[in-house]
Amino acid sequence: MGNAKGERPVSKAEVVAGNRALVGESPVWDERDGSLLWVDILRGEVHRFRPREDDDRLVARLPVPVGAVATCRSSGLVVAAGMGFALLDEASGELTHLATAGRGDRMNDARCDPAGRLWGGTLTLEHRPRAAALYRLAPDGRLITVLDDVTLSNGLAWSPDGTRMYYADTVTERVDVFDFDIETGGVRGRRTFVDLHDTPGRPDGLAMDAEGGLWVAMARGGTVRRFAPSGRLDEVVDLPLPYVTSCAFGGERLEDLFVTTLCAGLGEAELARYPEAGAVLRIPNIGVAGLPAARYAGTSGGAR
């Protein structure tokens, strides 16, 4: 795909949704209706953007911060919100509690693995070292603590063949990789996939493409970087602002890259300098297709 360390131009990024989201996060493409789900963590909002109608609609405003959203296989949505996981009825906005996490102050990023388990982690507001955790929610609702020494749990992704899991604990300034057992959900052999200490920004959200390339959103670094399965950097998407949070593939052929951003904590001068802060950006026809987003295999109950 392209040349090693190729750079994609800023001009390709376009604002498609969001209006000064405090912390836009968790973009996920819903192939059922060709829309992009995303959240504003601090406002507790779940949004659905429909490109065909150019319509970004508020699905629900929750009473707690919402770190991530995912779709269910049957119907409905599941969220990592507050300090746990819940089903979200899109019609009424009602939550059905599934499980409570035990470590940290709130849920952060979450993703489904290829077998339909939902993985999500926590953080503490002070980013206390090793005071948070990474959890795995089984389809039957059982919650398993996978890692209990996390500081700021963030991006998750799986290789196309399901044998590798990638994970970013942001403060470590690296992305780690595990050997993954798709049958059991077990992980082992944790090791550094890519060290980002010398790269502007810190690793946040992750996205996997169909060729096995891992895309890393660099928080406060203004880029999304693609790494080959070997860990070699071979693409850099330079964005018009530094405050990126996550990324996901979407569009009719899964060849558009959607990027969420934040504006929380920015002063008037920064907001004036970066008018796109808090928006959802799209880079069309990125040059490689993504993978369909996995869905939670648990029952959706009354969610619709």
At 120-129, the pLDDT tens digits run: 999 999 999 9
What is the average pLDDT across 178-205?
98
Residue 303 has pLDDT above 70, yes or no: no
Number of residues that this document lists for the chain? 304
Contacts of 16 (CB under 8 A, 6+ apart): 49, 51, 54, 56, 258, 279, 280, 281, 282
The count of other CB atoms within 10 Å of the CB of residue 2 is 13
Residue 88 has pLDDT above 60, yes or no: yes
pLDDT at site 19: 84
Residue predicted with more confidence, 280 or 18: 280
What is the average pLDDT across 146-150?
98
Tokens of 32: 């059922």
For residue 44, what are the CA distances in angstroms to 61, 83, 119, 166?
Answer: 5, 13, 19, 26
Which structural domain, as residue segments, surrounds residue 19? 6-283
Q: How far apart are CA 58 and CA 46, in angstroms?
A: 6
What is the average pLDDT across 170-190?
98
Is 72 inside any structural domain? yes
> Could you say which of 89, 109, 169, 204 is catalytic?
204
Question: What's the chain's average pLDDT?
Answer: 94
pLDDT at site 2: 42
Give the model's confidence band at 75: pLDDT under 50 very low, under 70 low, under 90 confident, else very high.
Answer: confident
What is the average pLDDT across 104-115?
98
CA 264, chain centre distance (Å): 18
pLDDT at site 12: 85
Three-class SS state of 170: helix
What is the average pLDDT across 112-119?
98
Residue predicted with more confidence, 6 or 204: 204
- pLDDT above 90 covers what percent of the chain? 92
Q: How many domains does the chain have?
A: 1
Is 221 inside any structural domain? yes
Is 199 inside any structural domain? yes
Give the chain's radius of gyration (CA, Å). Answer: 17
Which CATH number belongs to the domain containing residue 189 in this structure?
2.120.10.30
Q: Are 171 and 128 in contact (CB under 8 A)?
A: no
Three-class SS state of 278: coil
pLDDT at site 18: 86
What is the average pLDDT across 149-164?
98
pTM of the predicted structure, to 2 decimals: 0.95
Is 296 inside any structural domain? no
What is the average pLDDT across 106-115?
98
What is the average pLDDT across 165-190?
98
pLDDT at site 64: 97
pLDDT tens, residue by residue, 4-59: 456 655 548 999 998 899 999 999 999 999 999 999 999 999 999 999 999 999 99
Three-class SS state of 11: helix
Residue 301 has pLDDT above 50, yes or no: no
Residue 89 has pLDDT above 50, yes or no: yes
What's the burial of 194, exposed, middle or buried (CB within 10 Å: 0-12/13-18/19+)? buried
204 is catalytic: yes
Is 202 inside any structural domain? yes
pLDDT tens, residue by residue, 226-271: 999 999 999 999 999 999 999 999 999 999 999 999 999 999 999 9
pLDDT at site 302: 37
